[in-house]
Amino acid sequence: MTDKEKLDWIRLLRTEGIGQITFHKLISKYQSPSKAIEFLASLKKYKIAPISVAEKEIENAEKLGVTILFSCDTNYPFLLSQIPDKPAVLYVLGNIDSLNSKTFAMVGSRNASINSKSMTEGLSHGLVDYGYTIVSGMAIGIDTHAHIGALASSNLSGKKTVAVLAGGVDNIYPTSNTKLYRQIIENGAIVSEMPIGTQPQANLFPKRNRIISGLSYGTIIMEASIKSGSLITARFALEQNRDVFAVPNFPRDPRAGGTNMLIKNGATLVENIDDITSVIDNLSKKSFEKNDLLTGICEDILSYLPQINDEVEAKDLQGKILSLLNSTPVSVDNIIRELPEFSQIQIMDALLNLELDDKIDYPSVGKIILKL
């Protein structure tokens, strides 16, 4: 992209009311951030982020030697590119190649038991020896020990571990992990979708979790209560069509409830590293590829697809979609099946316009409801 396109990319992303999924729909439809901004400006209900915001964001990253990855860059993490709400921008400190290596996530309780900390380090160490890069969130407890175990490996690839932060990559959280933070930069990467200077906030951690699972072939939950945030990561992994693993724990330990529940519901039970490698050896990037019109947003995917150019016909399609909806979530796939006379790209285009007009909402990925 040109410098102007990068600025417009960030301006579009920082426009209030535009989330990651809507961002990529707009890019897919208009094939450039500048044209998408022009469209939003014509609606007169969106306040486009000023160019100064984007300039400052890029300037701050350059000052700290932070690499900015845009989701259409060729070195953007492949596995992450396959999730529908992939970050449009990633900030990276360290080895960018770590993000496209064989990656495996490990997360769990902040208030972790001694045995779970020890097992986490052992499994993490072993996976890195086996050629994997460990992805976690650098939180105290299991996350910290996942990184520590990875760094202890004798593997010299320089791609041992990746920490995904809820705040900016310049914001060390918790501060007690300052030394660990620096070791990770030297032996992997620190990653965030948030601009430089962003303070970690409670609402940013669940968003961070989708990146942890999205970067990884699979996710292992080491120790987690029923209400643990680690189960959010497990749910994201399942939604992203990734394997979930869990270590069983003593039933009367409250930190066992979440992991034992995952195993009951089909997660792979882990007692040793062989339980993990026997599954992930059969995985490949190819298994995550999707035949999705929104995949590969920097390609000219619309040039050969039928379009609705007539405004009356476009409104007619929107009306038909609305007639199929109510307050109960319906999958996009069902909408497509109900309207075989229209192409998928035509339907996605109509859904985008309905969303921008506040007529529909997405309560979860791939599900639509009528806004009443």
pTM to 2 decimal places: 0.82
Position with higher pLDDT, 256 vs 370: 370
pLDDT at res. 13: 96
pLDDT(294) > 50? no
Q: Is the pLDDT of residue 307 over 60?
A: no
Q: Which sign does the torsion angle of CA 246, 206, 91, 1 carry?
A: positive
| Mean pLDDT to the nearest integer, 277-305 | 50
pLDDT at site 285? 56
- Determine the average pLDDT of the residues in 116-124: 97
- Using a pLDDT cut of 90, give the percent of the chain over it: 66
Is there a domain that residue 296 lies in? no
Q: Are residues 283 and 317 in the same domain?
A: no
% of residues, the chain, pLDDT over 70 = 91
Q: Tell me: the pLDDT tens digits for 6-64?
A: 999 999 999 988 989 889 989 988 889 999 999 999 888 889 999 999 999 999 999 99
Task: Give me the helices (H) in the chain, please.
Answer: 3-13, 20-30, 33-43, 51-63, 78-81, 114-129, 142-151, 178-186, 204-214, 230-239, 257-264, 273-280, 311-323, 332-338, 344-356
Is 115 inside any structural domain?
A: yes
Q: Decide if 80 is inside a domain.
A: no
103, containing H or E segment: strand 103-107
Query: Can you give the pLDDT at residue 309?
Result: 46
Q: Parallel, antiparallel, or unpaired for β 67-70 and 133-136?
A: unpaired
> Which pLDDT band, with edges at 50, 70 and 90, does 115 fall under?
very high
Which domain, by its residues, includes 190? 94-288
Residue that terminates a domain, selected from 288, 320, 347: 288
Co-location of 280 and 148 in the same domain: yes
Q: Classify residue 267: in a domain, yes or no.
A: yes
Regarding whether 329 and 216 lie in a shared domain, the answer is: no
- Residue 299 makes CB contacts below 8 A (sequence gap 6+) with none
Average model confidence (pLDDT) for the chain? Answer: 88
Q: Is residue 295 part of a domain?
A: no
Which of 161, 145, 62, 50 lies closest to 104, judged by CA?
Answer: 161
- Overall domain count for the chain: 3
Predicted confidence at residue 45, as pLDDT, reads 80
Q: Are residues 188 and 274 in the same domain?
A: yes
Shared domain check, 101 and 230? yes
Which amino acid, residue 86?
Answer: K
Residue with the bigger pLDDT between 296 and 192: it is: 192
Mean pLDDT of 251-278: 90
Last residue of a domain, one of 42, 63, 84: 63
For the ranges 19-23, 105-109, 115-119, 304-308, the lowest mean pLDDT is seen at 304-308
CATH label of the domain that carries residue 330: 1.10.10.10
